[in-house]
Amino acid sequence: MENDRFDFEQQIMDCWKVTDDIKVAYDGIIDGDLKPTETCDVLIGLRHLYELKFNKLWDMFEGVIMPIVRENTMLNDECAALRGQLQFAYDDQSVPVITTKKDKQPKQYADTGTPISKGKK
């Protein structure tokens, strides 16, 4: 079954119920309805239950949101603009840039081969 953004929102709301469940356990402890061993069992059960829920939520995030992020042209445009600003800063040399250790080569842009940073050696 393919999940959509609505399913993702529902899963977030389902995970948010952890606060209600903790309150129920807390009330059971305060009211004396739970013995210490029962309290431990309840807390261990909540831990396992929410571990499952949050794993499911993460899987839904990866399936629903990440494809949107990867296809987001605005994000790609922002990255291109930042790359241009970094290139300008590198060319200008009046703007401080990140330096590298002497024994390492400066990192380079994959598309142009231009070093990302220029440091004094």
pLDDT given for residue 38 in this prediction: 93
Q: 5-40 burial, b if ≥16 CB within 10 A, otherwise e?
A: eeebeebeeeeeeeeeeeeebeeebeeeebeeeeee
pLDDT given for residue 9 in this prediction: 86
Greater confidence (40 vs 121) lies with: 40
pLDDT digits (tens, 9 = 90+) for 67-89: 777 777 667 777 777 887 777 76
Greater confidence (52 vs 102) lies with: 52
pLDDT given for residue 50 in this prediction: 92
Structure tokens given for 76? 């790609």
- Residue whose C-alpha is closest to residue 85's, from 116, 52, 54, 41: 116
Going by the DSSP 8-state scheme, the letter that residue 108 receives in this structure is: B
Going by the DSSP 8-state scheme, the letter that residue 31 receives in this structure is: T
SS3 106: coil
Whether the predicted pLDDT of 65 surpasses 90: no
Cβ–Cβ under 8 Å, residues 46 and 18: yes
The DSSP-derived string for 44-102 is HHHHHHHHHHHHHHHHHHHHHHHHHHHH-HHHHHHHHHHHHHHHHHHHH-SS------T
pLDDT given for residue 102 in this prediction: 57
Going by the DSSP 8-state scheme, the letter that residue 107 receives in this structure is: P
Structure tokens given for 49? 């239950």
pLDDT given for residue 95 in this prediction: 53
pLDDT digits (tens, 9 = 90+) for 10-49: 888 988 889 999 999 999 999 999 898 999 999 999 999 9
Q: Could you state, in order of their start, the residue ranges of all structural domains in the chain? A: 5-71
